[in-house]
A and B are shown apart, each in its own frame.
Chain A
Amino acid sequence: MSFRARMMIPLLVVFVAAIGYPLISSFVLSLTNYRITRRDETKFVAFAQYQDVLQDHAYWSALAVTGTFIVFAVVLELSIGLMIALALQNQRRFRDFSRSFLLSPMFVTPIAVGLMFRFLLNQQLGAIPAILEKVGITYDFFGPGRAIYSMVVIDVWQWTPFMVLLLLAGLESLSKQPFEAAKVDGASPFYTFRRVTVPMLAPILTVAVLIRSLDASKVFEYVYAITRGGPGTETQTIQYFTYQTGIQFFRLGKASAMSYLLLIMVISLVILLFKRIEKARLVS
């Protein structure tokens, strides 16, 4: 066995133990009608659970809610994060203080953030509605048609700093020559940003969007702490729905099928994305 192969063995052992075994056992579970409180009635049902999930309107609704959340949250985090990263890159004084201050939300545990905003946005008890009322605004943060967007704002508050961290590191690693050349040629800041910064930052942007999107797809704590999936099912994300099905309602077989279908969808999207990136890189 080559040296390279032997160096891979510890990683493979950890992978099999920590990821491989749970993946395989949950797949096996998804082929049964296993329920925690009816273990004696467990039987092999092949892909019946998958069929049941694909025909479940609630599953597709949860996917749509999650998709909406991801798109809005990531676009906002990318835009705001990039602006903050550019500002921090050019900052000369109090750099350490401002960076620590701006990055602090991401170190708060998400369930605490959820509980905090639950009361912060409470009409009677919260500071934000009180301030808004002083200027004559009353807003139902968790009402129909609005709750999911309030969750987006909470996610943006907490995870934009993560985007800032990635993008700032990317900006600071870029070569200086193209910027100096653009300056010498008389390019405006906006032109430099559009034609130099963004193309050079593209790989970092891609990774940042991918990581943040995968993370946003797991949103659970805000839903659990604030709305429990309501109004109706407007904030019932796929993770919350899967949790309810498997853990709260004991239907582990069905929940495993839900999770596997989501895994297949996510992996497919990631593969498509990397193929496009590779294609664009080859073309350029």
Chain B
Amino acid sequence: MRKIGARKLVTAMIAVGILVLASACSSSSPNASTAGNTEISADTAGTVRVLMEGVPDTDIVKGLLAEFNAKYPKIDVQIEPIAYDQIRDKIVASFQATDPTYDMAIIDNPWMGDFAKAGFLKPLDDLIASTANYDYNDFSAPLRAIGEVDGKTYGVPFYNYGLGLIYRTDLLSAAGIAEPTTLDALAAAAKSLNSAARAGIAMQPQRGYKAFEEWGNYLFAAGGSIYGSDGLVHLNTPEAKKALNTYIAMYKSSAPKNSLNWAFDEALRSVSSDKSAMMVSYNWMLPTLNKKDGPAGALAGKFKLATMPGGKQVLGSWDWAIPANSKVSDAAWAFISWITSKEGEAARVSAGGAPARTGVLTDPAVSNTGGGAEYYATVGKILSNAEPLCKGANCDEMINAVGTELNAAIAGLKSVDSALAAAEEQANKIQSE
């Protein structure tokens, strides 16, 4: 047998020692870039403050904190619920502070591009890749795309607010109308269901975000798109004109009278109080409307969710993110990875939360306790073919500019052609700055 030199033996022993040491370190460090086999240490500690919108999904997350703390007893997650309109200004101030007020953030999809490019958020790719059993690809692809900016991931999907058509099954059935699968069929159905006592469809043409968010679904139903293959906004198209003309016709013939400034709250109240037969709204409104002690009262159970005619719809989402100036990013990631893990997602969705992972949609344990198998099947279809209103930077401004032009056309202050031409021009100018 050939003798192994002493020097070589020592070198080999040192190498083995380094490997053992590296392995030991990586198993206790959540930030090590190993191939997804890192368990976040239960000793991870810190106070994690987060501002969240005062919606049911936030209440559900709060309800799961005890379970989280059973695994991570040293992490104190402090959730501050607040109205939507106040969130962004507060977190932007925190992002720029030397001593941040918030250690974790939820980011609405129009803000993602601006915040990522401004350096407000920490890239999460390494954390995602290193966390054991995370299976990031289980999240719906359109939702994953929202959190990705310039090739890096800055947000992990929290919950989706993809839109769909919510309608009264009893009214459609009584009128002999099938679930609309084309834009023209939707217009016809709304007109048929319209009466003095009840509008055919509650619409949300309020200037700005709401008008664009609702009309975007009509655009997709007409076979159109917001962006072209060149990455620019293209709204001065035949499909967009058809969509806007149809929208305006439906507003005049089938929507509640004098509802030009209507937004989400008005449409919900109209539908839940039997004053409108349908609405285009967030998919998770269905379980809310069908809840026995919910806002729809005696109408509970009579609502159904469908994809928009044509199968494509507008997508919105909230993402979990870690501010770049967070001083407890380990603890923040421990919480984010826990709440968005397959188990955390199943617990959240079972409690009524809006799904973000695709696996949970076909999990019988979830569908039996949550919104029902049929609802989750529809949500799966919605998430598989959905797109946000805006990609890239300056989204708030772009959405507002387009929504202003749309509202002007709906109000009759501008022609459809000039409104769409102006919307396209302004959107591209804003996004090129």
Contact = CB atoms under 8 A, between A and B. Distances in A.
A129 B258 contact: yes
A1 B91 CA distance: 48
A163 B136 CA distance: 62
B407 A230 contact: yes
Contact of B206 (A37, A140, A230): A230
Give the interface centre of A122, A139, A231 by most chain B CB atoms within 10 Å. A231
Given A38-B118, A249-B397, A250-B114, A229 B208 contact: yes
B256 interface: yes
A232 B411 contact: yes
B404 A229 contact: yes
A247 B86 CA distance: 11
A125 B273 contact: yes
A265 B138 CA distance: 58
B261 A230 contact: yes
B412 interface: yes
Contact of B118 (A37, A123, A233): A37
Given A124-B275, A248-B400, A228 B206 contact: yes
B307 interface: no
A36 B411 contact: no
Given A227-B207, A231-B411, A249 B260 contact: no
A118 B264 CA distance: 13
A104 to B, nearest CB: 25
Contacts of B206: 227-228, 230
A226 B208 CA distance: 12
B221 to A, nearest CB: 24
A38 B118 CA distance: 6
A118 B210 CA distance: 16
B258 A140 contact: yes
Contact of B258 (A37, A141, A232): A141
Interface residues of B, number: 39
A244 B207 CA distance: 13
Interface string B77-107: 0000000000001001000100000000000
A36 B256 CA distance: 40
Interface in A121-164: 122-125, 129, 138-144, 147
Contacts of A143: 258, 260, 411
Nearest to B256: A124
B396 A249 contact: yes
Contacts of A279: none
A39 interface: yes
Given A37-B117, A233-B404, A250-B114, A228 B260 contact: no
A138 B258 CA distance: 9
A250 B394 CA distance: 9
A18 B266 CA distance: 41
Contacts of A37: 114-115, 117-118, 120, 393
Contact of B208 (A230, A234, A247): A230
Given A39-B118, A230-B404, A144 B412 contact: yes
Determine the main DSSP class of A at the interface with B: loop
Nearest to B273: A125
A228 B89 CA distance: 18
B8 interface: no
A38 B115 CA distance: 10
Interface string B399-433: 01000100110111110000000000000000000
B259 interface: yes
Given A38-B118, A226-B261, A249-B397, A232 B207 contact: yes
Contacts of B394: 249
Contact of B397 (A38, A118, A124, A248): A248
A249 B412 CA distance: 27
A147 B261 contact: yes
A142 B258 contact: yes
Contacts of A227: 206-207, 261
A138 B208 contact: no
A229 B208 CA distance: 9
Interface string A223-259: 0001111111110000000001001111000000000
A129 B273 CA distance: 17
Given A231-B260, A249-B397, A125 B270 contact: yes
B89 to A, nearest CB: 6
Contacts of B199: 124
B74 interface: no
B269 interface: yes
B257 interface: yes
B273 A231 contact: no
Given A122-B266, A124-B270, A124-B275, A232 B404 contact: yes
Given A37-B114, A124-B275, A247-B89, A231 B258 contact: no
A248 B397 CA distance: 7
Given A37-B117, A123-B256, A230 B207 contact: yes
A232 B407 contact: yes
B413 to A, nearest CB: 4
Interface in A91-139: 118-119, 122-125, 129, 138-139
A228 B208 contact: yes
Interface in B275-292: 275-276
Contacts of B117: 37-38
Nearest to B116: A37
A147 B404 CA distance: 15
Contacts of A249: 394, 396-397, 400
A109 to B, nearest CB: 14
Give the interface centre of A124, A140, A226, A249 by most chain B CB atoms within 10 Å. A124
A123 B259 contact: yes
Contacts of B207: 227-232
10 A-B pairs with least C-beta separation: A230-B207, A232-B408, A231-B411, A37-B118, A140-B258, A123-B258, A249-B397, A142-B261, A232-B413, A144-B411
6 contacts: A36-B96, A37-B114, A122-B266, A124-B275, A231-B207, A249-B400
